[in-house]
Amino acid sequence: MYINNPASYTDYYELTMAQGYFLSGKHQKSAGFDYFFRKIPFKGGYVIFAGLNELIETIQNFSFSEEEIEYLRKENFKKEFLDYLQDFQFKGNIYSVKEGEIVFPTEPILRVEGNLLETQLIETLLLNILNFQSLIATKAARIKLAAGEGPIVLDFGLRRSQGLGGIHATRAAMIGGFDGTSNVYSAQRFDVPAGGTMAHSWIQSYDSELDAFQTYAKYYPDDTTLLVDTYDTLGCGVPNAIKVAKELEENGHKMKAIRLDSGDLAYFSKQSRKQLDDAGLGYVKIAASNQLDERVIHSLRTQNAPIDIFGVGTRLVTGHTTPALDGVYKLNSVDGTPKLKISENIEKITLPGNKKIFRYCNDDGTFYGDAILFDQEKTIERMHHPTFPAKKSDVTSREFEDLLQPVIKNGRIVSNLPEVKEIAKYAKQRLNLLQPEYKRLENPHIYKVGISTNLMEKRDALLKLFKS
Amino acid sequence: MYINNPASYTDYYELTMAQGYFLSGKHQKSAGFDYFFRKIPFKGGYVIFAGLNELIETIQNFSFSEEEIEYLRKENFKKEFLDYLQDFQFKGNIYSVKEGEIVFPTEPILRVEGNLLETQLIETLLLNILNFQSLIATKAARIKLAAGEGPIVLDFGLRRSQGLGGIHATRAAMIGGFDGTSNVYSAQRFDVPAGGTMAHSWIQSYDSELDAFQTYAKYYPDDTTLLVDTYDTLGCGVPNAIKVAKELEENGHKMKAIRLDSGDLAYFSKQSRKQLDDAGLGYVKIAASNQLDERVIHSLRTQNAPIDIFGVGTRLVTGHTTPALDGVYKLNSVDGTPKLKISENIEKITLPGNKKIFRYCNDDGTFYGDAILFDQEKTIERMHHPTFPAKKSDVTSREFEDLLQPVIKNGRIVSNLPEVKEIAKYAKQRLNLLQPEYKRLENPHIYKVGISTNLMEKRDALLKLFKS
């Protein structure tokens, strides 16, 4: 489970509102909420949805502990409400796109139905889980795409992750396409590969760099990656590594790699590659780390830096440049009546009613565009740009997928919870169906997301009601 | 405790190195490590050190579970090493500045002594805890300073925090000077004030805004903050809030505040203030939220926006613009021999040996500058700029404080663990002793941090050794 006390892992106002609904007898009214985001992070073209498994497991086990009730009592919550919370369980329904799905702004990625109290109460927990893991899965996918098909990308971020956020940063990085992690805790918990060899301190603790290298190679002859920049990369680091590789060869082993952690990585990787190749060590790989992200890796690739393994830390696990996905959770209906939020900012106006997403395909199976429509709509003929209705597309003849599927029904999990590896495989498969223009680092093409005619008309009618 | 399985909450290489030290019989050698950072985040002038309590509690209870040993066995770690880990406890010493202390780049804020294996093994855990909480405490202090003495600042960040990082983001925000939080979990765990009232969904769930306001006021007559921007802030939001405030007055209550969450906060706060004042509701406060940070708040203050309560979320808890403190943990000595790391980047060269920090004061008690010196030095006459030795200051006649104090001796906690409220008080007191130029938002003055003559000479001698 995500956290042992999910009920108090929340914003205080969820509880004051819940009590308000309860005391006014309104808590049993049915309600629907949508989870969606408004802006793609990193100036990118897509988001990978992640965190679903933790969310649904946690919601299925959502309850208030004695200690939490006690705390709320001291905070002056009313006895009758606390009695209600004592037996509280989430009994609603959740529909969601698959974990690992490629998603876009304004789409109701996940929909919650239930009574007003229970659907409100899970808001903060839901946002906390989904916003962060989707952010990092997206960042990881960008980095993996920048690195290309050959090189391996590894998560080295735990030391700079935002506290315990490191646990799920690693999970999300693996979903986004990373090949492994240094994070032992998460590797164990999520069954993904962990690895790592030495820090500078290992080298420093010996009287000589060569001694440090030789000792390491002695104990890890088949998994030796030597860190070569402690004193002088090209002057002694790589030459000492070559000496050790030759000694390993004599004993029938092959050194795995050297690692560069400072200096100009393009220059040093080329010079190191040359030294290694000249010594007949073409099989020894080059790993690089130090403030890497998708842009630095892209630049290294365009310079033909011969790097085989990228260790990415801080900028991966903190979602560097956009440290949060702006996902929100908005009421779409009460007792079947569609609801709308207007707001002073136009982009904060919401879409009313219970909705779903159809994804339309091109003839080659790649994604054409997505439509948001009412749940009861069977098919639609065209979709409209959400804010410029004159812009529309005919989708009559296209194949489509219905992306939202039930994951919780009446409080019980009804979907399978795939392993992280499975989710990663799905994300990769879906990314392959997204055309390259949407995956560009600079100014990616904007993926088409439209709304159905019915949805547009309903929204506009509700807007008019408030204006009059 | 910070995490239930601290031993595996680590980078894999800590374990491969530990096994290497163990198998080569070198693990009992004594070693010293320093925790320090190189760059102040947010282009700021200072950092507030936070996270110490969690770190020392966790280290005192640091051990390997059966499950963790089993995992390492499957990862091919050796039996004799795993037997050693089974009984592993940290038995070393830790010296640290107080939690809440104001600290600066290159200072050995925290020093760990012990055997090579144990001092190495805690690296990742230590960095994970200290880097993040220091980052957020610093961000919070900047925000609080920007808000000034009058207004209240509240943490609203949980929904956008980096996963479980939200737990300690709140703790750190309180240390940095925040007045309260929406995060119920952390409020309970760290004994700090929590609060909150309503979301837009509360308003939307009623047929009319007035009805929503009246119902809330009925159940929370003494703690009513009404969110006024769901439909039309000045057209109906504030007028409806005024109506409710008047009804509350009739029943002997006073409405607490209105909250603005969108639009131009300077404009809307002034217009709302006017409407409230014209209605004789000068006591009703104005709360504002929506992508706030120290720069936005500073701008609102210079525009005289009459905001009494700032709710700060995403940009606080993610450390917006600098989502990680670059703190590192570097070996300073083995068996009493000072050690140095050179690196290809000059700024990554470390300071050798066991060190401490003296903080020198001005006559009025404000901070003058800090010196880093060897632990065995009693006093020093001058300190030198770490990289421009010609720049030096005479400190002979100044009063000073010795900032590093023992917190763990032979594995046992020897300092008290103050409550978060106490730490916050200390941080505030220390911030008051830092002159305003260092606290400026734009281009703060650079605080003087020097090194002793002995330390400089030792470092330079070691550097020469490697160059020859």
CA A244 to chain centre: 40
* B169/B163 Cα distance (integer angstroms): 10
Contact B163 A169 (CB under 8 A): yes
**B-chain residues within 8 Å CB-CB of A15?**
184
Closest CA to B348 of B32, B38, B92: B38
* Phi-psi group of A215: left, alpha or beta (phi > 0 → left; psi -120 to 50 → alpha; rest → beta): alpha
Is pLDDT above 90 for B341?
no
Q: What is the mean pLDDT of residues B134-158?
A: 98
Tell me if A330 sits within 8 A of A33, measured CB to CB.
yes
Which residue in chain A is spatially nearest to B135 when comparing CA positions?
A: A162
Phi, psi of A146 (to 5 degrees): -65, -35
Q: Are strands A309-312 and A392-394 parallel, antiparallel or unpaired?
A: unpaired
H helices of B220-312, in order, are 238-250, 265-278, 294-302
* B49/B452 Cα distance (integer angstroms): 23
3-state SS assignment for residue B252: coil
Closest CA to A405 of A143, A56, A122: A56
Is pLDDT above 60 for B396?
yes
H helices of B251-360, in order, are 265-278, 294-302, 314-317
Burial class (CB in 10 A: 0-12, 13-18, 19+), B268: buried
Closest CA to B317 of A348, A131, A331: A131
Contact A342 B230 (CB under 8 A): yes
- Identify the pLDDT of residue A122: 98
Instruction: Name residues whose C-beta falls within 8 Å of residue A465's C-beta, 6 or more positions apart in sequence.
Output: none
* A77/B407 Cα distance (integer angstroms): 40
Q: Hey, is the C-beta of A4 within 8 angstroms of any chain B C-beta?
A: no
**B-chain residues within 8 Å CB-CB of A24?**
215, 218-219
Tell me if B263 sits within 8 A of A347, measured CB to CB.
no
CA dihedral (A163, A167, A171, A173) in degrees, to 10, reads 30
* A267/B217 Cα distance (integer angstroms): 67
- Identify the pLDDT of residue A467: 61
Tell me if A369 sits within 8 A of A360, measured CB to CB.
yes
pLDDT tens, residue by residue, A297-356: 999 999 999 999 999 999 999 999 999 999 999 999 999 999 988 877 777 889 999 999
* Cross-strand partners of A333: A32, A338
* B195/B183 Cα distance (integer angstroms): 8
Mutation site for A-interface testing, chosen from B71, B159, B226, B238 by largest number of A Cβ within 10 Å: B159
- Identify the pLDDT of residue A343: 72
* Cross-strand partners of B91: none
**B-chain residues within 8 Å CB-CB of A120?**
199, 201
Q: pLDDT above 70 covers what percent of chain B?
A: 99
Mutation site for B-interface testing, chosen from A12, A17, A258, A337 by largest number of B Cβ within 10 Å: A12
How many residue pairs from chains A and B have C-beta atoms closer than 8 A? Answer: 314
* Cross-strand partners of B285: B257
CA distances from B120 to A250, A260, A308, B32, B72 (A): 32, 21, 28, 9, 17
Q: What is the mean pLDDT of residues B415-424?
A: 97
* B349/B328 Cα distance (integer angstroms): 12
The number of residues in chain A equals: 468
Among B10, B215, B341, beta carbon nearest to A24: B215
3-state SS assignment for residue A338: strand
Q: Are strands B382-384 and B367-374 parallel, antiparallel or unpaired?
A: unpaired
Closest CA to B153 of B392, B295, B313, B389: B313
Among A169, A205, A230, beta carbon nearest to B334: A205
- Identify the pLDDT of residue B387: 86
- Identify the pLDDT of residue A389: 82
Contacts 24+ apart (CB under 8 A), A245-249: A245/A276, A245/A279, A245/A281, A245/A284, A246/A279, A247/A214, A247/A217, A248/A217, A248/A221, A248/A224
Edge-to-edge strand ranges of the sheet holding B367-374 = B392-394, B382-384, B449-452, B367-374, B355-361, B400-402
How crowded is residue B418: how many other Cβ atoms within 10 Å of its Cβ?
A: 16
pLDDT tens, residue by residue, B166-223: 999 999 999 999 999 999 999 999 999 999 989 999 999 999 999 999 999 999 999 9
DSSP A237: I
Tell me if B147 sits within 8 A of B157, measured CB to CB.
no
Closest CA to B318 of B159, B191, B125: B159
Mutation site for B-interface testing, chosen from A164, A210, A464 by largest number of B Cβ within 10 Å: A164
The continuous run of DSSP H or E covering A110 comes out as strand A110-115
Q: Are strands A449-452 and A382-384 parallel, antiparallel or unpaired?
A: antiparallel
Sign, Cα dihedral of A340, A341, A342, A346: negative
What is the pLDDT confidence band of residue B467, given thresholds at 50, 70 and 90?
Answer: low
Distance from the Cα of B368 to chain A's closest Cα (Å) equals 31
* B276/A2 Cα distance (integer angstroms): 44
* A137/A427 Cα distance (integer angstroms): 9
Distance from the Cα of B395 to chain A's closest Cα (Å) equals 33
Tell me if A71 sits within 8 A of A367, measured CB to CB.
no
Interface of A with B in 31-50 (CB under 8 A): 31, 33
Which residue in chain A is spatially nearest to B122 when comparing CA positions?
A: A159
ipTM: 0.97
* A61/A56 Cα distance (integer angstroms): 9
Which residue in chain B is spatially nearest to A122 when comparing CA positions?
A: B159
What structural domains does chain B harbor? Answer: 12-136+322-467 (3.20.140.10), 137-317 (3.20.20.70)
Distance from the Cα of A436 to chain B's closest Cα (Å) equals 29
H helices of A122-259, in order, are 123-147, 165-175, 184-190, 200-204, 209-219, 238-250
In tens digits, chain A (468 residues) has pLDDT values of: 899 999 999 999 999 999 999 999 999 999 999 999 999 999 999 999 999 999 999 999 999 999 999 999 999 999 999 999 999 999 999 999 999 999 999 999 999 999 999 999 999 999 999 999 999 999 999 999 999 999 999 999 999 999 999 999 999 999 999 999 999 999 999 999 999 989 999 999 999 999 999 999 999 999 999 999 999 999 999 999 999 999 999 999 999 999 999 999 999 999 999 999 999 999 999 999 999 999 999 999 999 999 999 999 999 999 999 999 999 999 999 999 999 888 777 778 899 999 999 999 999 999 999 999 999 999 999 999 998 888 999 999 999 999 999 999 999 999 999 999 999 999 999 999 999 999 999 999 999 999 999 999 999 999 888 764
The continuous run of DSSP H or E covering B288 comes out as strand B285-288
Among B29, B215, B345, beta carbon nearest to A20: B215
The number of residues in chain B equals: 468
- Identify the pLDDT of residue B200: 95
Which residue in chain A is spatially nearest to B320 when comparing CA positions?
A: A323
* Angle between the N-to-C axes of helices A12-23 and A79-86, in degrees from 0 to 180, rounded to the nearest 10: 110
Contact A3 B68 (CB under 8 A): no
Edge-to-edge strand ranges of the sheet holding B337-338 = B337-338, B328-334, B30-36, B110-115, B93-96, B405-409, B412-413
Distance from the Cα of A328 to chain B's closest Cα (Å) equals 9
Contact A162 B169 (CB under 8 A): yes
Look up residue A388 and give its two tokens: 């410029």
- Identify the pLDDT of residue B1: 86
Distance from the Cα of A267 to chain B's closest Cα (Å) equals 12
